[in-house]
Amino acid sequence: MFSYAIGVDLGGTNLRIAAVDEYGMLLSKTALETEVSRGREHVIRELCQATKEIAQRMQDKHRGDATLCGIGIGVPGLIDIESGHLVESPNLPGWSDYDVKGDIEGRLGTPVIMENDANAAALGEQWLGAGRNSESMCMITLGTGVGGGLVLNGKIWHGWNGMAGELGHCNVEPDGHPCNCGSHGCIEQYASATAIVRMARETLASGAASEMHKLAAEPEFNSRVVYECAMRGDEVARKVFERVGRCLGLLIGNMVNALNLPLYVLGGGVSSAWDAFSPALFDEVRRRSFLYAATTPLDRSSILVEHHSTFITRALLGGDGGLYGAARLPLLHQAMTSKV
């Protein structure tokens, strides 16, 4: 007899579902498109159908030896942790203030735990990825926007009402670029894929010489193109990534000073540009945080060897961190309740 959980990564474009056992072994996985335009009812019906199929597959394969302990769902948006209501989600229009947890529990007859997707990704990385030897860590996800999550002693830190970890809106430029949240100069405006393209265009508009002038006119001009130019030595592209690194260094330096966590992990699509932005990042963290300077690891790659250093590194699970983290939620809950 063994327990497993089903993790769901419900994004604005992709819906991925996986069965994972308590050791983090992937048992079954399925990927669908999230057809947001067909409405909430359609997406929830698809999600429940695919979840039932996975549970059935597990039942057939293990002949009743496998017990489903619950379903964890990571969603982009603010969640009321107590009720499981989705308070607000820009990527899932029409889902605001909806009892997603109650609805899915009613349809499947299995307990559901809802979580913000960036928090779920942080938990997944802490469980099986870059943080697997560290009980506490901070994760910063650099994608179209910037998200974050804190895992303290193996559990997500929710703050007093469930909304902690909005690191994307920490300030790095007091009078900087306006942000959707209403503030100016949030890190999201300097370290997201969207920001990289904007900063490149701003510098090009000032007339600086760059191979990007031609590329920027193409419809497929994106942050990856800017990265490739930076790696080829284009000065404008290089400067853009230097700014990304400086701003991230400023944010992480502040976090090191405030939290003294052993590990800061950078994930999301933009983190693959690590080579381009990390030198400026490390330089800036050292300048901003005497605590980091005092605990800089001798070898940045050997997380296992040094126990009293502060590590800043890349995520290891790629796009799957959120899926594993979502599955981890009911497994953790089960471990906690069985201890009582």
Name the residue with tokens 């990704």: 121
Rounded distance, CA 166 to CA 174, Å? 17
78 is a contact residue toward Zn ion (CB under 5 A): no
Candidate segments 77-85, 145-153, 162-170, 258-266, binder of Zn ion by CB under 5 A: 162-170
In sequence order, the β-bridge partners of residue 71 are 6, 112
Find the helix or strand (DSSP H, E) in which 247 lies: helix 235-259
186 is a contact residue toward Zn ion (CB under 5 A): yes
251 is a contact residue toward Zn ion (CB under 5 A): no
Nearest-5° Cα angle at 52, 47 to 56? 150
179 is a contact residue toward Zn ion (CB under 5 A): yes
Give 94 or 178: the residue with its C-beta nearer to Zn ion.
178
169 is a contact residue toward Zn ion (CB under 5 A): yes
- Choosing from 181, 209, 335, 336, the residue that interacts with Zn ion (CB under 5 A) is 181
Pair 148, 141: CB distance under 8 Å: yes
25 is a contact residue toward Zn ion (CB under 5 A): no
Distance, first Cα to last Cα, the chain: 21
Candidate segments 2-10, 122-130, 177-185, 216-224, binder of Zn ion by CB under 5 A: 177-185
Give 183 or 272: the residue with its C-beta nearer to Zn ion.
183
DSSP string, 64-124: T-EEEEEEEEEESSEEETTTTEEEE-TTSTT-TTB-HHHHHHHHH-S-EEEEEHHHHHHHH
- Smallest distance from the beta carbon of 187 to Zn ion, in angstroms? 8
Give 140 or 186: the residue with its C-beta nearer to Zn ion.
186
Find the helix or strand (DSSP H, E) in which 123 lies: helix 117-128
187 is a contact residue toward Zn ion (CB under 5 A): no
Which residues of the chain form contacts with Zn ion (CB under 5 A)? Answer: 169, 179, 181, 183, 186
